[in-house]
Chain A
Amino acid sequence: NAGVTQTPKFRVLKTGQSMTLLCAQDMNHEYMYWYRQDPGMGLRLIHYSVGEGTTAKGEVPDGYNVSRLKKQNFLLGLESAAPSQTSVYFCASSYGGTSYEQYFGPGTRLTVT
């Protein structure tokens, strides 16, 4: 039981490049989330999904897209990376319903130069 995993762990991009971050969970959770963490800013929600095939915007969605084609996977895409997207990205999942506890992945450190 791996829990929540994220790929890759580290990545350096040049401005304008694109990339996809993969989040996978093996806990049969309905809900999945993407956060970014910047110093002094806490965890800010980018996008989330309440089930396979659904996505919704969070607090800071601009510049990101997501897809949830399979229940166990949640992809975060950056179409044209900007230095402002340099951050640590965390994926999380939760069972759903009235079970709110979120389980986090190990994070992806992204640097955009």
Chain B
Amino acid sequence: GENVEQHPSTLSVQEGDSAVIKCTYSDSASNYFPWYKQELGKRPQLIIDIRSNVGEKKDQRIAVTLNKTAKHFSLHITETQPEDSAVYFCAAKGGNTPLVFGKGTRLSVIA
């Protein structure tokens, strides 16, 4: 089955700097790659997703890139703000198989 590895597990950045979180997946049939943000004590919420027919997608300060050949995808957050502090999860899904999540990255933005 699918296996998703996520790095780093913790990340601290200065406010205004960029943050990058990377994930790799194992199943070449995977075709959907979402990123979820979970604030402390809250539910995970989708912030951006990408499908395998697209290489990059942007939404304001966040972007996701996908390299199907290398089987990895990344989340980029620019001009980080304190409210970006949260745990971020990547996930991968292929065909009729359920979504598989990475173990998460705790991002701390230091003001």
The residues in A between 37 and 74 inclusive whose CB is less than 8 angstroms from any CB of B are 40-45, 48, 58-59
Q: Chain A residues near B44: list those with CB within 8 A.
A: 43, 90, 104
Contact A40-B34, Cβ < 8 Å, known A45-B98, A90-B44: no
| B32–A100 touching, CB < 8 Å | yes
A59 to B91, CA, bound (A): 14
The minimal Cβ–Cβ distance linking A22 to chain B, given in whole angstroms, is 16
Chain A residues with CB below 8 A from B104, complex form? 40, 42
**Given A42-B89, A42-B103, residue A58 in contact with residue B45 (CB < 8 A):** no
Which residues of the partner chain B approach A45 to less than 8 Å between Cβ atoms? 98-100
A42 touches B43 (CB 8 A): no
Q: In angstroms, how far is the closest chain B Cβ from the Cβ of A21?
A: 15
Within 8 Å CB of A106, what residues of B? 42-43
* Least distance between B48 CB and chain A CB atoms (Å): 11
Give the residues in chain B near A59, CB-CB below 8 Å: 100
CB nearest to A102 among chain B residues: B99
C-alpha gap A40/B9 in the complex (Å) = 8
Q: A40 and B103: CB pair below 8 A?
A: yes
Contact A48 B98 (CB under 8 A): yes
Q: Does B101 contact A (CB under 8 A)?
A: yes
B46 at the interface (CB under 8 A from A): yes
A55 to B89 CA separation, bound complex (whole angstroms): 25
Residues of A whose CB lies within 8 Å of any CB of B are 33, 40-45, 48, 58-59, 90, 100-102, 104-107
A-contacting residues of B (Cβ < 8 Å)?
6, 9, 32, 34, 42-46, 49, 89, 93, 98-104
**18 pairs, A vs B, C-beta closer than 8 Å:** A33-B98, A40-B9, A40-B103, A42-B6, A42-B89, A43-B44, A43-B101, A44-B101, A48-B98, A58-B98, A59-B100, A90-B43, A90-B44, A100-B99, A101-B46, A102-B99, A104-B43, A105-B43
Sorted nearest first, the 3 A-B pairs with minimum C-beta distance are: A42-B103, A104-B43, A43-B101
